[in-house]
Every structure is written in C-alpha cells, then in structure tokens.
A and B are shown apart, each in its own frame.
Chain A
Amino acid sequence: MVPVSYYLILGGILFACGVAGFLIKRNLITIFMSIELMLNGVNLSFVAFAAQWQALSGQVFVFFVMVVAAAEAAVGLAIIIAVYRTRETLNVDQVNLLKL
C-alpha cells in the first residue's frame, strides 16, 4: 500500500504549481486553470485522508468541492467572456481599472 505521505506530497506539488501559475501567468484563462489545479491538489489530500482513516466524509467533501468548482467554472468563464468583450484582452495586467 502506498503511504499517505506520497499522496500528500503530490497534492502539495499540485497546489504549489497552482499557486505559481496563478501568480506568474497573465492570461485569465490560464489563471483560472491554475485555480482548478489548486482545488484538485486539495481534493487529492482529502481522498488520501479518507482512505487512510476509512472515513467517508473526506470523499463527500471532495464531491462538494467538485460541485462548487463546476459552478465556479460556469460563473468564472462567463466573467471572462464579459471581460473580453469590454476590454478586448485577457491580460490581467491591463485589467486594472480598480486601482487608485
């Protein structure tokens, strides 16, 4: 049996990749995908713990996260389309109207 720490390390790497992508990338869609990556990193650690402790709640939580992520994807993509229509760009550095 694969030790739980392996799953956790993989989850951590996935999460770190997500954070790095979120910070580095300029394209909104890429940033969006990085968020999904972070969520999946967290999901992985959830199921790893669920298997470790033979508890179902971890897996239930993952379903919740996936549902929320799906909803978020729908709203987020709608926002991205709206942003593209008004700004004609998806570069976040140029979407900075809220600055002082």
Chain B
Amino acid sequence: MTRNLHLWLIPVLPLIGAAVNGLFGKRFSRQTVVAIALLFSGAAFAMALWVASQFSSLQTPHIETFAAWLRAGDFHADFAFFLDQLSLVMLLVVTGVGFLIHIYSVGYMWEEGGFYRFFAYLNLFMFFMLTLVLASNYLLMFIGWEGVGLASYLLIGFWFTKDSAASAGKKAFIVNRIGDFGFLIALFLMIQHFGSLDFVQVAQQVMPMSPEIGAAGLLTAIGLLLMVGAAGKSAQIPLYVWLPDAMEGPTPVSALIHAATMVTAGVYMVSRSHVIFEHAPIAMMVVAIIGTLTALFAATIGVCQTDVKKVLAYSTVSQLGYMFIGCGVGAFSAGIFHLMTHAFFKGLLFLAAGSVIHAVGGEQDMRKMGGLRTKIPWTFWTMTAGTFAIAGFPPLAGFFSKDAILWKAYSSPYGNWVYWAIGVFTAFLTSFYMFRQWFLTFFGEYRGEEHLDDGHGHGGHGHGGIHESPAVMLAPLVILAVLSVCGGWIGSERFDKFLAPVFHSQTASSTAEGPSMPAEPRKEDSTETLFTGISVSAALLGFLLAWQLYHRRPELPQRIAASLGGFYQAVVHKYYVDEIYATVFVKPLIDGSTKLLWHGVDRDIIDAAVDDSADGAREVSDAVRHMQSGNIRSYAGWVAAGAAVVIFYMVWMGTR
C-alpha cells in the first residue's frame, strides 16, 4: 500500500491564501495581507520540502487520486496528482523560487495601490502552477496551464489604468490562446487514439510503437501540436512576441512568472511527453530547430535593447530556446537542469533589475544609469553573480547546465553540429549582452537625473536619491545569488541519474543499442573537454567585447551601429516582427471583424432582423389597438357580430 502524502494540499494552500486575500484583503492592513500570502506560499514550500524528504521512501511514480472528476464511458480524468523525480524538481523550483519572490514583493510592492490584489494574484498563480506540475493527466495539466495564463494576464495588466500594460496583458493572453489551441487539438487526438489522457496510460500505449509504423504520423502530429502549445507558453518562435511586452507587469511578476516558472511550463510539458517525442523524430527535430532559432534570434535582439527588463526578457526567450534544444536532441534531463538553474539566475537577475529600478526611482533605461556599483553594493554583487552565471562562467550554475545542453546538442543521436555551433554563438551573444547591461548599469558615470520624482509608470518609487533596497528585498537576492553560484554543483551527470527513472525509456534504448555505448563517452572525453573550453571562451569573448565597447571605449558602439546601418535598425526594431504580425494577422482580423462581421453580419443582418421584426410588430399593434376602446357597447357589438358570423356559417353549412 502506497502512502498518502496529501499532495493535494500543496496547490490548495496557496489557493486558500488567494481566496482569503482576494475576497477580504481590501479590509486588511498591509501587514495582514503579507502575513497571509507568505504563510500560505511558505506552507506550500514547507510541504514540498517535506515531500522531498519523504521522496526516497516512495515508489515512483507516486500517484494520488484525490477525487473523481470526469467519467464518460471508458474515458476518465481524475483530480489526481503525480509525483516523480521530474515533478519533484519542478515542485521545489516553483515553491522555493515562488516563496522567495513573495518575500521580495513585500518590499517592492509596499508603496503600490492594490497591494492585496497583487498578493491574491500571486498566490493564485502558485495554485495553478502547482496544479500544472503535479497533475497526473493532461487535462488537469491543461487546467493549470490555462490558469497560469490567467494569472499571468492579471499580473501583466496589474497597472490596468496604464494602457500599455492592459494591452500587453491582452496580447499575452491572445498569443497564448493560439498555443493552447494546438495543445487542445493534441489532447483530442490522444483521447481519440489512446482513449486516455493519463500520463502513464498514454506512455504505455506509445511505448510499443516504433517510429516506422503508421502511427508515427499520429505521434508526429501530437508532438508538433504539443510543441505549438509549448511555443505559446514558453515564448518560442513564432509565438514569442508576448513575453517582451509582458515586462509591463511589476518586476517580481516578471521574475516569477515570465522568467522562473510559468514560461518553463512548455519545457516541462515537452519533457513530460518525452515518450511521444522519442517516437516522433520529426517532431523532435522541429523542437530542436525552433529552440535553436529562438535562442539565436532572441539573443541578437537582446543585444540592442536599452530597457533593463527588455534585455532580460529577450534573454529569457533565448534561454528557453536552449532548453528546447535540450529537449529536441533528447537530452530532457539537461533541459530540465537548465530550467532549474535558469530559474535561479534569471529570477535573481530580474529581482536585481527590480532592485536597480527601485534604486533609481523607476527608471528602466540603461542609458540613464551607470556608476551604480558603489551606491547599491548588495544589488551589484548579487547581479554580478547572476550575470556571470547566465554567461556561463565556471563554476557558476549556468555553466554546467548550458554546457550539458551544448554537449548533448552535438553528441546525442538526435544532435547535430549545427545546433552546437549556433548554441555556442548564442552563448557568446548572451555573455555579450549581459555584460553590456552590467557595464552600462554599474560602471562609468551616472547618466540619469539626480532626483527622479515621477516614477516611470509605478508612482510609488520616486523617493528621490539613489538608495539601496530594504533588507526584505535583498534577502531573496542573496539566497538566489547563492543558488546561482552553487546550483550547478549538483552536476549534470548526477542530475541525469536522478531523473533517469522518468526518462528511463531513453536509457533503456541506449543500453539496447549494444555494449559499445559505455565505451564511447570515454573516447569522447577529450572532445567534451574541448567543447567545454570553446563555450567558456565564447563567454569570455563576450565579456571582453562588452568590456571593450561599453567600459573602455563607450563611444565605439555608436560608430559600429552607424556603420551597420539598415541591419542595426532592423535589430533595434526587433526585426519588425511585431509590425509584420500587425499587418499580416492583426489588421486583417480587425478589419474583417469590423467591416464584415460587425457592420456586415451583426449590424446589417442580425440587428436588422431583430429591429425590423420589432418595428413590424409595433405597426400591426398600432393598427389593432384601436379595437380596445374601453367602450362596453362596442365590445358587445364585436361579440354579437362574431356570434352572427358563426350562426351564418353554421346555417350555410347546414343548408349545403
């Protein structure tokens, strides 16, 4: 008999917090709101830690059915929770980073209006995210999937009086809807062909299929459709456009939802469906190609951004691309490893960026910063840790995970040197734009105005003068900085071994290929070292270039930009992708909706039909109502006339 860990409590705890704060928070003091929000998210984290401590004594996968949900014929989907190594990693990342960001938000949002609303949404997000990672079937996962989208929408549009924030929220929601459409179709295909959405049952049915048989087309279709869903949620080409705009939300939201957790849901989903992808090589290849292209594309855009948060946003898109490279070449554990380290260092970078923005009174333009190193030392040092981690300097976290992905991109059976080459070039770009940001923000002379009293969008931050953030914001920064430094020391090998039971089909197939496999890595040890050397030198090159351009010779970038001309302009304008989407998709849709559906169908046909029939009824009534005179004798006359007609009719019928 398996133990009951009451896994359902983990998602439900934040839900209680969200409900209490959301329903009654308006009357609470800020302290009470904070106490409730932290209590419930902290309880979820504590529960997750307890589950982790019990984990070794469990049989995996550990499935707990909380309640029956849908029963329709043979098909059923339950409120059931699924715990294995993969969801345990996700669980700890989500609750841990989530709890830290809750703490940080206390300091960051203290001055803001709608304080209780913010924490209610944040707890609501935790609920849905935990549902997503703990679900034991695709349908429950989809509930979490949609729910985090909702929470994301609410939080991006948190400052809903600002037009750009409101429309960024809508954009995120609509673009995600396109991805969700693909996800849904994939679910329908699974129901039709497998009769189940349960992870275990689907995997059992897919496992015996070989890629050559006729079902391969089906699996490829399911895989591609799942990837469409993942591309929407995890901001991959061609659906990445919402993520940079999502930076309109408060910075802790960008850190939690749009860097550390929600956007990685797509990676998690693809990894969770690894059995399907392993049986559909074409889908795998598409995942890897999309990941590679996105990584490169977003990194190039990131180089030219001037907004602190936008740089990090494109960097997130780019890093998510790395994770998909990992998934696409079959190195799911490497992808998840990068997901975890990325959650640490990108969460850290966003929070540190928030601390910088807080310090300079709401300014987000890096060109108006500079020289902040001595003024906000805590932020500087933590952000330095994050920057070196993402750039891939050993022995920080980003180095291990990125290196694992790059090595697999080359060496795995699905791999290709092209993935690796683009990956290394992207690593160079990553290092370059991150250090560019680092130098622009913390070194040189301060270029902003001394006293910025109007907070850029968030009115609460303008208290004049550059100042370090309060301890409640710095503590999460320090913890995340430590994690960013040490998080990679687990090592990808050990991580791989830990996750092996989840991705066991992979190891099973590799051992099945014969005894030559174990010998191979030893032979390639020197190659691996060489590749590691190359990626580290790429990171170093990026650092040196950024140092040269943005520290030693700050006038150089402008000259280079001028000499690049049109290409530079294209990059600055993000390759005009938003504009292209606007002309190709958005404008025809709006025009079609306005002219054809609204004016043509709705106004001229539907409304017209309703209005005309109402007008007709009124005209007829106008004519008839004069019979209703109120005069008793005229009524009597009508009765008599009617009776006479009946009598004449009967007499006439009788005489015929």
B632 at the interface (CB under 8 A from A): yes
Flag if A100 contacts B632 (CB, 8 Å): no
Alpha-carbon distance A28/B266, docked complex (angstroms): 87
Flag if A100 contacts B636 (CB, 8 Å): no
Flag if B628 contacts A96 (CB, 8 Å): no
B630 at the interface (CB under 8 A from A): yes
- Given contacts A92-B633, A93-B633, is CB(A23)–CB(B628) below 8 Å? no
Residue interface bits B57-100, CB-to-A below 8 A is 1, else 0: 00000000000000000000000000000000000000000000
B542 to chain A, nearest CB (A): 87
Residue interface bits B225-240, CB-to-A below 8 A is 1, else 0: 0000000000000000
> Which chain A residues in 46-85 approach chain B with CB under 8 Å?
none
Flag if A98 contacts B630 (CB, 8 Å): yes
Flag if B637 contacts A23 (CB, 8 Å): yes
Alpha-carbon distance A95/B634, docked complex (angstroms): 12
Closest chain B residue to A95, Cβ basis: B632
| CB contacts between A and B, total, < 8 Å | 31
Among candidates B631, B633, B637, residue contacting A99 with C-beta atoms closer than 8 Å: B631
List, in ascending order, chain A residues with CB within 8 A of B626's CB. 100
Residue interface bits B603-640, CB-to-A below 8 A is 1, else 0: 00000000000000000000001101111110011001
A8 at the interface (CB under 8 A from B): no
Among candidates A22, A31, A95, A96, residue contacting B629 with C-beta atoms closer than 8 Å: A96
Residue interface bits A5-35, CB-to-B below 8 A is 1, else 0: 0000000000000010011001000010000
List, in ascending order, chain A residues with CB within 8 A of B631's CB. 92-93, 96, 99
Flag if A100 contacts B625 (CB, 8 Å): yes
Closest chain A residue to B641, Cβ basis: A23
Flag if A22 contacts B628 (CB, 8 Å): no
Does more than half of chain B's interface fall in helix, strand or loop, or is it mixed?
A: helix
B624 to chain A, nearest CB (A): 10
List, in ascending order, chain B residues with CB within 8 A of A99's CB. 628-631
Flag if A23 contacts B630 (CB, 8 Å): no
B31 to chain A, nearest CB (A): 67
Closest chain B residue to A24, Cβ basis: B633
Alpha-carbon distance A31/B629, docked complex (angstroms): 19
Number of interface residues of A (CB under 8 A): 13
Alpha-carbon distance A26/B633, docked complex (angstroms): 8
A85 to chain B, nearest CB (A): 18
Alpha-carbon distance A96/B625, docked complex (angstroms): 15
Alpha-carbon distance A23/B631, docked complex (angstroms): 11
Flag if B630 contacts A97 (CB, 8 Å): yes
Among candidates A23, A95, A97, A98, residue contacting B636 with C-beta atoms closer than 8 Å: A23
- Given contacts A19-B640, A23-B640, is CB(A100)–CB(B628) below 8 Å? yes
List, in ascending order, chain A residues with CB within 8 A of B632's CB. 31, 92, 95-96
Flag if A23 contacts B625 (CB, 8 Å): no
> Which chain B residues in 255-312 approach chain A with CB under 8 Å?
none
List, in ascending order, chain A residues with CB within 8 A of B633's CB. 23, 26, 92-93
Closest chain B residue to A98, Cβ basis: B630
A93 to chain B, nearest CB (A): 6
Alpha-carbon distance A100/B622, docked complex (angstroms): 11
Closest chain B residue to A26, Cβ basis: B633
Flag if B625 contacts A22 (CB, 8 Å): no
Alpha-carbon distance A31/B639, docked complex (angstroms): 15
Which of A26, A92, A95, A97 is most buried by chain B, counting CB atoms within 10 A of its CB? A92
B541 to chain A, nearest CB (A): 92
List, in ascending order, chain B residues with CB within 8 A of A22's CB. 636, 640
Closest chain B residue to A94, Cβ basis: B631
List, in ascending order, chain A residues with CB within 8 A of B628's CB. 98-100
B343 to chain A, nearest CB (A): 75
Alpha-carbon distance A22/B630, docked complex (angstroms): 16
Alpha-carbon distance A22/B632, docked complex (angstroms): 10
Closest chain A residue to B628, Cβ basis: A100
Alpha-carbon distance A26/B636, docked complex (angstroms): 12
List, in ascending order, chain A residues with CB within 8 A of B625's CB. 100
A64 to chain B, nearest CB (A): 21
Alpha-carbon distance A88/B20, docked complex (angstroms): 68
Alpha-carbon distance A31/B633, docked complex (angstroms): 10
Alpha-carbon distance A4/B516, docked complex (angstroms): 125
Alpha-carbon distance A92/B629, docked complex (angstroms): 12
Closest chain B residue to A97, Cβ basis: B630
List, in ascending order, chain B residues with CB within 8 A of A97's CB. 630
A52 to chain B, nearest CB (A): 19
List, in ascending order, chain B residues with CB within 8 A of A19's CB. 640
List, in ascending order, chain B residues with CB within 8 A of A98's CB. 628, 630
List, in ascending order, chain A residues with CB within 8 A of B640's CB. 19, 22-23
Alpha-carbon distance A92/B631, docked complex (angstroms): 7
A34 to chain B, nearest CB (A): 10
List, in ascending order, chain B residues with CB within 8 A of A100's CB. 625-626, 628-630
Alpha-carbon distance A57/B96, docked complex (angstroms): 96
Which of B625, B626, B632 is most buried by chain A, counting CB atoms within 10 A of its CB? B632
Closest chain B residue to A25, Cβ basis: B633
List, in ascending order, chain B residues with CB within 8 A of A95's CB. 632
Chain A residues within CB distance 8 Å of chain B? 19, 22-23, 26, 31, 92-93, 95-100
The 7 closest A-B pairs by CB, nearest first: A99-B630, A96-B630, A98-B630, A92-B632, A100-B628, A99-B629, A96-B631
**Extra A-B contacts (11), CB below 8 Å, given A23-B637, A96-B632, A98-B628:** A23-B633, A23-B636, A26-B633, A92-B633, A93-B633, A95-B632, A96-B629, A97-B630, A98-B630, A100-B628, A100-B630
User: Can you pick out 13 interface pairs between chain A and chain B where the beta carbons lie within 8 Å of each other?
Assistant: A23-B633, A23-B637, A26-B633, A31-B632, A92-B631, A92-B632, A93-B631, A95-B632, A96-B630, A98-B628, A98-B630, A99-B631, A100-B628
